Amino acid sequence: MALSKERKTQLISQYQQWLESTQAQVLLSYKGLTMKDIDTLRSKLREIGGEFHIVKNTLAQLAIEKTGLPLPEGYFDESTAIAVAPDDAPAIAKALLEFAKGSGFLKVKGGYLEKKPMSAAGVKALAELPPLPVMRAQLLGVLLAPASKLVRTLAEPARGLAAVIKAHAEPATATAS
């Protein structure tokens, strides 16, 4: 069934919105997946804040051109789906690669991270990054380490003085008894 010109315009604007408003987009070949597999993948991605959509190649290419993003070759050679990550791109990439290992049909073509193209190897590297909460904790630890050292350094002379006073006070109380 052919799409009306109005529907095509709506789809192009929807694709553009995904490209402009999300942190990362991963383009995939889904040839061979059953609807049950697609629904399973969609629910897994939804749990971590992502989305999975099957797109029309020519309309997706038009949307990419309209947003001014480069269009690497091979991204739209066969059936294409797009996974969008509004916030946590590494978690979405990791979920996609884990699903791809299990299914055998889902293949990563490439994608965009912060509006820059990335290859399938780039998506794999993104998936190997730790999740966002872990990265935040690591960054916080790095930022707090100098402050903790400073507090310990400043408190050390007072601790030393207290230990000297305590040492002098203990023999005096021991001899008084």
**φ, ψ at 88 (rounded to 5°):** -100, 80
Shortest CA distance to 61 belongs to which of 15, 120, 6? 15
Q: Which helix (H) or strand (E) holds 28?
A: strand 24-29
Residues 111-133: pLDDT tens digits? 999 889 999 999 999 888 877 77
Does the pLDDT value for residue 154 go beyond 70? yes
Residues 22-73: pLDDT tens digits? 889 999 999 989 999 999 999 999 999 999 999 999 999 999 999 888 888 8
Cβ contact 50:127 at 8 Å: no
Q: What is the mean pLDDT of the chain?
A: 86
Torsion of CA 91, 95, 96, 99, to 10 degrees: 170
| Rounded (10°) angle between helices 89-103 and 120-127 | 110
DSSP letter for 3, please.
P
Strand order, beta sheet including 51-55: 51-55, 80-85, 24-29, 107-113, 116-119
Single-letter amino acid code for the residue at 76: F
Opening angle at CA 105, ends 130 and 1, nearest 5: 115
More confident position, 2 or 79: 79
Shortest CA distance to 58 belongs to which of 66, 50, 47, 46? 66
pLDDT category of residue 4 using cuts at 50, 70 and 90? confident
Whole-model pTM: value is 0.70
**How far apart, in whole angstroms, are the C-alpha atoms of residue 24 and residue 32?**
25
Secondary structure (3-state) at 17: helix
